[in-house]
Structure 1
């Protein structure tokens, strides 16, 4: 099920995340610095910031690092002029992310290490994500190039 975190309360979002973790038998991995964004207000801030940056003269390619459940991915995909490339390292999230990709023609999901993939990508207009702590400095260095 693809949800819109912008339309949920914090309690509803937490309940959905817990259900989804249990349904897919996923336990968050500390070694991957996996944490889930559970505040709809934070989703709203990210969404508003990204949509303010939309420029009709550009492709508006948004790369999301650590797509996880696809909640931010789906929110951004609803802004139809954006093309979202979601990058997720953890293959356990693939069944969830495939549903997001199937629901939006402007979303592609790549299962890969973002630190490796970003080095070869061109035409990225924006990078968003709930960045994994253990790779933040590496990612910022790569993005800054």
Structure 2
């Protein structure tokens, strides 16, 4: 009998109500090609295969092969890819939707990876605390780098809270189903995505400090020394007086739009300099 592995974060979804909620929320049609990350015992995969044109499943644990075989014997539109989803090149697959019960420990890297790759719609299971951070408002304790990185590119929405009893083995925390709808117009506003992500990492290392202090203290994230960053910021504010108030504001009090605009202006300033 198969035993879920703690180190892989395996908590298999067993409650059909939440499987159905995920399927329904994904608005699947026979034209959709779906990516699922984590096979589990195939309970979600089976419903996906009934409702979509094709289902790709990336699974790291070869011990789940008996469940994969059973699915493939029954459904000819399921393809299992054995490997690590965090390392796998998602551009090799032509999916347009993502529906998955994600292992908690890969939530962050997978979310960023998916947003970079692009998709039409995703319905994903996260730890509830993680989900709250994705949808948080500025000025709250849950608002952080994750919030801004996700909201600057998409519209996340918590669909429902999921109790530990919906899984086997039962996790010690609640989960949540989250719908992520990419927002192309928002994403287009980011002038340089790599710089934007580095900028976010720098300022949110010190979310309770002013933007100016945060950038100085985390100057290495943008490949500058603290002294260099101080001079750069003085020059930046002198040339862009409209950012002065934002630079003195605490990081976690800035809205997503304010952070995107500030990042773009700083990127342009550094590029021109």
* TM above 0.5: yes
Structure with larger RCO (C-alpha < 8 A, sep 6+): 1
Query: Equivalents in 2 of 1:106, 1:127: separation in Å?
Result: 15
Given the alignment of the two structures, is residue 90 of structure 1 paired with residue 66 of structure 2, yes or no? no
Q: What secondary structure does 2:11 align onto?
A: coil
Deviation per residue, 1:74-131 (Å, 9 max, x gap): 111112x420011111110012111101211111111111112243434221111110
Contact conserved, 2:56 with 2:81, CA < 8 A, in 1? yes
- Larger fraction in strand: 2
Query: Equivalents in 2 of 1:122, 1:88: separation in Å?
Result: 14
Q: Aligned residue for 1:34? A: 10
Contact conserved, 1:62 with 1:125, CA < 8 A, in 2? yes
Given the alignment of the two structures, is residue 66 of structure 1 paired with residue 38 of structure 2, yes or no? yes
Q: Aligned residue for 1:4? A: none
Query: Equivalents in 1 of 2:65, 2:28: separation in Å?
Result: 29
Query: Equivalents in 1 of 2:93, 2:65: separation in Å?
Result: 24
TM-score, normalised by the number of residues in structure 1: 0.73
Given the alignment of the two structures, is residue 78 of structure 1 paired with residue 54 of structure 2, yes or no? no
Contact conserved, 1:65 with 1:130, CA < 8 A, in 2? yes
Given the alignment of the two structures, is residue 128 of structure 1 paired with residue 99 of structure 2, yes or no? yes
Tell me, which stretches of 5 or more residues in structure 1 are unaligned? 1-24
CA RMSD, 1 decimal: 1.6
TM-score, normalised by the number of residues in structure 2: 0.40
